[in-house]
A and B are shown apart, each in its own frame.
Chain A
């Protein structure tokens, strides 16, 4: 008798435990799924909020928001072409400076560095990504800009006679497209070099050994056997750096001079889309101005989205090859 009751009790307990377990599993599954859904929800919310807020300006001004260069707030003209131009030019300048350096560092770290140097140098370069952008801006205002104004710009223009080209002419004020491009180069460098280092390390040893066995020098091995293998991943890293540079706000706003004019000279001040928003958003008084700034934000959103998607795809295609 007692043994039967005991058995019944035992069975009850067990089913109860199983039930608790399955309830627990269900709760756990629901909670993690909801948290995972937060990410798509955020992206959709950001896109909807910004495009909805931008719509009045887009409907009223059409494409002239990005094609016109007449930014006249009291007059109701909102042409952000100079900001679009500044965003692209400052980012391109940044990439031209940062790419060779970043790839050089990545090759150094993955191929030539003495073992004891690898960790500290890699760490220092990674740390560049940890420095807040406002600190870059501060350093840019008080150290980099005076240096450019007093030494670098006169040197480029007069000593190297680059003033003959349209890119290095005009007075050297300091705050300029060149200053913004330089600071962006420093900021994009760690992203490019981190991705490049990773894809270079993913190149199989056999690839290197084969090249060396064919009597290639160490540089020829890198150039002919390693880099071609890692090329799309490196390009992906450059695109990621580009994505960072395009959307960077604070440091650029503090260094570019914030002047809505298109000028071929890198010595002239300019504007970027992000710095335009940051500068004017809190002072926007009428609805159209606010909406136009939202439209600039929407354009920035789209551009960085495309650049990042391409970058991810390139990096992903390399890691997929590695997995094979």
Chain B
């Protein structure tokens, strides 16, 4: 058993197993994409993008309101989350070793690992219960709370890569610190920060659980932040667990649209970094 030959056979076998693991690990993604295209594409039509939901048994329904709703909720969440996240990242990159920086870094990781449903019931407790009704804004705040720690951490990582000499050069030329940070350091790391922002947007765009008790969903057109609003993931969920075939088809089509949006953002994020640093960073 301990002969050189048998050891090499074992080695070859184990290496083959890692190849098998790589195949098995990529298989689910490929299967999911194939099924999405197979079942989703046939249900896609112009009406899907222009009409709201139709009653059961009536053809021509679509998810236009849910697509717009997702844009509204995710857009609002990004408006809240991105500036805060990027500024917090600047803080962490500059005050690297203060006690507050360590605390914030640790708590950002904690927040990052928090189940999205917990963030959802928090937003309900803060923005739905006191006000008395569900709203798009509550959903956006829940998504922003998930976005902030992600953006903060990637921004910090990207800023760390910026050489100190750049900052020193700007300061030596008489730039005040704040302008150095914004016009030189932040700008140098912009591609990386944009990647982080895109990854965060892609992640929250597909979130359902935090929206269940906040944005709630809506069968009708609404773009108001104060009212319940439809969202693509919520609509997919409602249709998927319904007993109607027509709705199942719509769910597949909705999932295909959602995944195309998410994948485009993810791939864009990857290429945004590659062009700058030569290799993707995440």
A residues lining the B interface (CB < 8 Å): 20-22, 24-25, 27-29, 31-33, 35-40, 42-43, 45-46, 49-50, 53, 100-105, 107-109, 111-113, 121, 123-128, 130-139, 141-143, 186, 189, 193, 217-220, 222, 240, 243-244, 246-250, 254, 274, 277-278, 281-282, 293-294, 297, 300-301, 304-305, 307-309, 311-312
Complex alpha-carbon distance, A43 and B118, angstroms: 11
Neighbouring B residues of A22 by C-beta, 8 Å: 176
Contact of A125 among B26, B116, B203, B240 (CB under 8 A): B26
Contact of A132 among B121, B149, B206, B213 (CB under 8 A): B206
| B114 lies within 8 A of A135 (CB) | no
Given contacts A32-B87, A124-B26, contact A46 B118 (CB under 8 A): yes
Contact of A50 among B17, B122, B152 (CB under 8 A): B122
Neighbouring A residues of B28 by C-beta, 8 Å: 128, 186
> Closest approach, in angstroms, between the C-beta of B42 and any C-beta of chain A?
14
Complex alpha-carbon distance, A219 and B179, angstroms: 53
Selected interface stretch from B47-55, B99-107, B160-168:
B99-107
> Closest approach, in angstroms, between the C-beta of B175 and any C-beta of chain A?
9
Neighbouring B residues of A49 by C-beta, 8 Å: 122, 125-126
Contact of A42 among B91, B109, B111 (CB under 8 A): B111
Contact of B119 among A46, A103, A125 (CB under 8 A): A46
Interface of A is mostly: helix
Neighbouring B residues of A244 by C-beta, 8 Å: 113
Tell whether B14 is near chain A: CB-to-CB under 8 Å. Answer: yes
Tell whether B24 is near chain A: CB-to-CB under 8 Å. Answer: yes
B residues lining the A interface (CB < 8 Å): 7-8, 10-12, 14-15, 17-22, 24-26, 28-32, 35-36, 39, 83-85, 87-88, 90-92, 94, 100-101, 103-104, 106-119, 121-122, 124-126, 145, 148-149, 152, 176-179, 181-182, 202-203, 205-209, 212-213, 233, 236-237, 240-241, 248, 251-252, 255, 258-259, 262-263, 266, 270, 280, 282
| B176 lies within 8 A of A25 (CB) | yes
| B116 lies within 8 A of A134 (CB) | no
Complex alpha-carbon distance, A25 and B233, angstroms: 43
Neighbouring A residues of B110 by C-beta, 8 Å: 43, 305, 308-309
Neighbouring A residues of B94 by C-beta, 8 Å: 32
Task: List 11 additional A-B contacts (Cβ < 8 Å) besides A50-B125, A133-B206.
Answer: A130-B202, A130-B266, A141-B240, A143-B31, A217-B7, A218-B15, A249-B209, A274-B115, A278-B209, A300-B117, A308-B112
| A107 lies within 8 A of B206 (CB) | no
Q: Which of B117, B212, B213, B236 has the most CB of A within 10 A?
A: B117
| A50 lies within 8 A of B121 (CB) | yes
Enumerate 5 A-B pairs (CB-CB under 8 Å) in ascending A order.
A36-B152, A104-B17, A104-B25, A105-B21, A250-B233
> Closest approach, in angstroms, between the C-beta of B66 and any C-beta of chain A?
12
Contact of B22 among A32, A121, A308 (CB under 8 A): A121
Complex alpha-carbon distance, A44 and B18, angstroms: 43
Given contacts A43-B110, A219-B10, A278-B212, contact A108 B18 (CB under 8 A): yes
| A27 lies within 8 A of B178 (CB) | yes
| A104 lies within 8 A of B115 (CB) | no
Contact of A36 among B31, B100, B177, B270 (CB under 8 A): B100
| A247 lies within 8 A of B115 (CB) | yes
Given contacts A141-B240, A308-B113, contact A104 B20 (CB under 8 A): yes
Q: Which of A20, A139, A141 has the most CB of B within 10 A?
A: A139
Chain A residue with Cβ nearest B210: A249
> Closest approach, in angstroms, between the C-beta of B196 and any C-beta of chain A?
14
| B240 lies within 8 A of A130 (CB) | no
Chain A residue with Cβ nearest B204: A132
Complex alpha-carbon distance, A177 and B149, angstroms: 32
| B213 lies within 8 A of A134 (CB) | no
Complex alpha-carbon distance, A121 and B30, angstroms: 12
Chain A residue with Cβ nearest B16: A112
| B7 lies within 8 A of A39 (CB) | no
Contact of B213 among A42, A274, A282 (CB under 8 A): A282
| B107 lies within 8 A of A32 (CB) | no
Complex alpha-carbon distance, A300 and B91, angstroms: 31
Given contacts A108-B19, A281-B212, A304-B113, contact A135 B104 (CB under 8 A): no
Complex alpha-carbon distance, A105 and B208, angstroms: 29
Given contacts A25-B176, A32-B88, A277-B117, contact A217 B8 (CB under 8 A): yes
Complex alpha-carbon distance, A143 and B124, angstroms: 33
| B113 lies within 8 A of A32 (CB) | no
| B115 lies within 8 A of A304 (CB) | yes
Chain B residue with Cβ nearest A129: B203
Q: Which of A100, A138, A220 has the most CB of B within 10 A?
A: A138
Chain B residue with Cβ nearest A104: B21
Complex alpha-carbon distance, A240 and B103, angstroms: 19
Given contacts A45-B122, A133-B208, contact A218 B11 (CB under 8 A): yes
Neighbouring B residues of A312 by C-beta, 8 Å: 106, 109
Top 7 nearest A-B pairs (CB, nearest first) are: A132-B206, A247-B115, A104-B21, A28-B178, A21-B176, A308-B113, A35-B87
Complex alpha-carbon distance, A111 and B22, angstroms: 12
Neighbouring A residues of B92 by C-beta, 8 Å: 36
| A278 lies within 8 A of B126 (CB) | no
> Closest approach, in angstroms, between the C-beta of B216 and any C-beta of chain A?
8
Q: Which of A22, A104, A309 has the most CB of B within 10 A?
A: A104
Neighbouring A residues of B179 by C-beta, 8 Å: 24
Neighbouring B residues of A305 by C-beta, 8 Å: 110, 113-114
Neighbouring A residues of B241 by C-beta, 8 Å: 141, 254
Chain B residue with Cβ nearest A24: B178
